[in-house]
Amino acid sequence: MRLAAFTDYGLRVMMRLAGEPEGTLTTGEIAREFQISYHHLTKVVQDLVRGGFVQTRQGAGGGIAFARPPESITLGEVVRYLERQHALVECFAANGGKCLLTPACRLKGKFYEAQNAFFAALDETTIAECVYSGAETRET
């Protein structure tokens, strides 16, 4: 399973915020830290706001903060939300896709099982368990 860059960036935002549970971070700070386009990250943050995961505050001391405790947000919930427009395979698309194999395909059931297993595994971990505090040294 391959996640869209949009989802990857959303998870990075959530993990980084988990490292600042009492504070806020700005989109600019996170964009610089992860070397992501500010404009692209702004769209990601807006989608996380719409999903009810984070909230934004304007003015001095403003920024991005959790809308709910990170202990109550699972990786599966976030990935399902951010990947909602990306079907694993064409026949999983909301409109059913245009796959000519659909009537006799023997893969769809297996892909469905694999997708369910993937999300079940992600549902076992919360964002709080994936804290990234920033500027951590990488092991070599």
How far is the first Cα of the chain from the last one, in angstroms, to the nearest whole number? 27
Residue 140 lies in a domain: no
44 domain-assigned: yes
The verdict on pTM exceeding 0.75 is yes
- Name every residue whose Cβ is closer than 8 Å to that of residue 48 and which is 6 or more positions away in sequence: 10, 13, 14, 54, 82
pLDDT digits (tens, 9 = 90+) for 5-45: 999 999 999 999 999 867 889 999 999 999 999 999 999 99
Give a yes or no: residue 137 inside a domain: no
Alpha carbons within 13 angstroms on the beta-carbon side of residue 3 total 19
The SS3 of residue 126 is strand
Residue 37 lies in a domain: yes
- Quote the domain boundaries for residue 112: 5-130
β strands within 26-122, DSSP E: 54-57, 63-66
Residue 96 has pLDDT above 80, yes or no: no
Number of structural domains found in the chain: 1
* 136 — pLDDT class (breaks 50, 70, 90): low
Q: Which amino acid is at 20?
A: E
At 44, which CATH number?
A: 1.10.10.10
Phi first, then psi: give them for residue 111, nearest 5 degrees. Answer: -65, -35
- DSSP letter for 137, please: P
Q: Is residue 138 part of a domain?
A: no
Res. 49: pLDDT tops 90: yes
